[in-house]
Structure 1
Amino acid sequence: MFKAPMAILLTMAVSLSTAEVEAQQKPAEKSAVRPLQVGNLTLGLGQPAIIVSTSGQDEASVLKETQQAAQTSEVNIVELRVDKLDFATDARRVMQLGQAMRRDLKGKPLLLTFRTQGEGGEKAPGDALYSELYQQWLAAGFADMIDIEMHIGEQPMRKLVAAAHQKHIAVVMSWHDFNHTPPNEEMLKRLEWQAAQGADVLKIAVMPKTPEDVNRLTTITWQMRQRSDRLLLTMAMGGQGTISRISGEIYGSNLTFGSLGQASAPGQLAVGVLWQTLKALHEASATSR
C-alpha cells in the first residue's frame, strides 16, 4: 500500500496537471456526465467515489472486511474480489456470500468482480466458465455493479450487459495492462469499444514506465470525457501512477480505488489519505471556477 502525506500529493497534482489541463480546456469543455444511481449512491457528481476491494479467502474474513468498510464513511463502494476466494467457482456459495455482504453494507453499493489471472487476478477460469458464472450471479441479482473484462469478446459481452441491465445492475467494463502503457490511440479505442457495448463505466488500468506514460493516461481520459457521457474509471498503477488516482475530477475520471488494509493493485492509497486529498482538490477546483 502506497502512503504519502496529503501535502505532497497535492503538490504532485498541481505540478503535473495544471499546465496540461489549461491547454486542453481551451479548445473543448468536458462532456456532461450521465449520473448513475447504484445502491444509495449517485455516481458522476463531484469528487470521485472511492472503491475498496476485499482480499479475504473465506466468508468470515470477507464479511469482517465488509463490516469495516460499511462503517467507514470515506468508503463509497465495496468490491467483492471473487478470484481471491478459495471457492471462487462455486457459484452458489459466492451468491450466498454476496447476499450476506449486501445486508451488511446497508445500502452502500456492492461491486462484483472476478479478476482473471491474465489481468492481474488469481485464477484463470476460461472465458466460457467466466461468462457462465456471471450469468448465474446476475440472475441472483445481489450485486449493484459488476466488472466484466472486455477480452471475452463482443457476443458474450452483449449477453452479459443485457442480463445486467435487465436486473438494473450497472456494468463496469474493464481492461488492464500490468506491463506497460499502450499508445494513446489503442487506449482510446478500448474505451470507445466499451462504450459501444453498453458499459455504464469505462475502465482501463495501465502500468507506466515514465511520468510521460502517466501524462498520456490522463490525456486520453480527458479526451474520452469530451467524447462520452459515460462514467470513467482510469488509472496508471504503481507509485508513479498515484497522481492518476487522485486527479480524476480534473481529467474526468469518476471513480478511484483506495485501501483499508491490503491493496488490491500497486499504487493504491489508504482510504483516509485518499479521501482527504480528493476533498482538498475538489474544494480547490470549486473555488477556481
Structure 2
Amino acid sequence: MKRIRVGGEMIGRADQPLICSPLIGRSRAAILDEVAAIVPKQPDLIEWRVDFFEEVSDIAAVIDLASEIKAAAAKIPVIFAFRAMSEGGGACALNESDILKLYVAACASRCVDLIDYEMSNPVTSVAMLREVSRNHGVTMIMSYHNHQATPEDAVLSEKFAEAERLGADVAKVVVTPRHSEDVLSLLGATQKASRTCAIPLVSMAMGGIGAVSRVFGWAYGSSVTFAAGRSPKPGQMRIEELRSVLASVSHALHGG
C-alpha cells in the first residue's frame, strides 16, 4: 500500500486498515455526546459529517464546534466532510459557494486534519480547494459515492484514477451493491487501482451485502474502513467488534 502520515496515524498500513468512526448528530450537544462515547474506543480516525449539523449555515458555529471536536479527539485525526444530497448527504439548503466557504474556513483554522470533497463538484472548485488545503497542511480525500448502485468495473477504476489526476492525497470510492457480485467488482477495482495509483485508496460497499468489504477491503488495497461508535446501521459493525475481527483476519493472513 502507498502510505501518508496524518497526525500520528499512517494511512496505508500493510497489516490492517485504519478504523474510522463517523459523527452524525444534528445538534451541538448530540455531536459532543457522540465524541465522548467514541473517543474512549480509540478509532484511528473520526469523520464529522457536517452536512447533518443543524447550524451548518453558521460558519462561526461550525468552526467553533470543529475545534471542540478536535480538542476532545486528542491525538485522533479528524476528517471534515460535507456530503452532497446527490451522494447521500443530509438535507441542506447551502449552495456550492457556501459549502466551499465552509471547507476553506475549516482548512484555514486548522481545526481538522483531513477534508473529504466529492469529485462530482466543479473542477474549478476541486482545484481551488486542493490549493487551499495544501497551503494549510490539510490532507485532501477526493471521493465518489453512489447510493443507487455499483457502476461497471471500468467506471470504478476511473474514479480512483480521476482522484489521483486531480491531485488528491487519498482516493475514496463508495458504492451500493445490489447483489454480492457488486462487492466483488468493487474489491477487484480496488486491487487493480492499488497497482497503478501512487496514493492511498479507500473503498467500501454499503449495506448488509457490503459488510464483507469493511472486513476484507484492506486485503485488496483499501486503507481505511468504517465502524459505528454506537447504534450500528445495517452492514455496520461497532468499533470494538470490527477491531477484533480485523485482528483475527490479519493474524490468519500474515501469521505472527
**Structure 1, unpaired ranges of 5+:** 1-32
1:281 aligns with 2:249: yes
Tell me what 1:89 maps to: 57
Q: Post-superposition shift, 1:237? A: 0.9
1:261 to 186, 209, 230: 230
2:213 to 226, 238, 244: 244
- AA paired with 1:170? T
Tell me what 1:101 maps to: 69
Q: Post-superposition shift, 1:55? A: 1.9
Q: Post-superposition shift, 1:266? A: 4.9
1:121 aligns with 2:89: yes
Q: Post-superposition shift, 1:129? A: 2.0
Tell me what 2:115 maps to: 146
**Higher Rg of the two aligned structures:** 1
Q: Post-superposition shift, 1:157? A: 0.4
1:162 aligns with 2:162: no
Tell me what 1:21 maps to: none
Distance 1:271 1:40 in 2: 19
* Per-residue deviation, residues 81-129 of structure 1 (Å, max 9, x unmatched): 1111111121110100011111111111011111121111113423222
Residues 77 and 232 of structure 1, relative CA distance in 2, 3 Å threshold:
same
Q: Post-superposition shift, 1:67? A: 2.1
- AA paired with 1:162? E
SS in structure 2 opposite 1:247?
helix
Distance 1:262 1:167 in 2: 35
Greater RCO between the two (CA within 8 Å, min separation 6)?
1
May I ask how many residue pairs the two structures share in their alignment?
Answer: 254
- AA paired with 2:20? I
Distance 2:234 2:224 in 1: 16
Q: Post-superposition shift, 1:164? A: 0.7
- AA paired with 2:153? N
2:102 to 128, 133, 144: 133
Q: How high is the TM-score relative to the length of structure 2?
A: 0.95
Distance 1:233 1:254 in 2: 5
Distance 2:234 2:116 in 1: 19
SS in structure 2 opposite 1:163?
helix
State how 1:61-72 maps to structure 2 within 5 Å.
Answer: 61-72=30-41
- Whether the 8 Å CA contact 2:191–2:221 is kept in 1: the answer is yes
- AA paired with 1:279? A
- Whether the 8 Å CA contact 2:41–2:240 is kept in 1: the answer is no
The two structures, once aligned, show a CA RMSD in angstroms of 1.5
Q: Post-superposition shift, 1:248? A: 2.1
SS in structure 2 opposite 1:128?
helix
- Whether the 8 Å CA contact 1:249–1:282 is kept in 2: the answer is no
**Structure 2, unpaired ranges of 5+:** none
* Per-residue deviation, residues 117-175 of structure 1 (Å, max 9, x unmatched): 11111134232222222112211111001110111122210110111111111111111
SS in structure 1 opposite 2:222?
coil
1:215 aligns with 2:188: no
Tell me what 1:271 maps to: 239
- AA paired with 1:138? C
1:199 aligns with 2:171: no
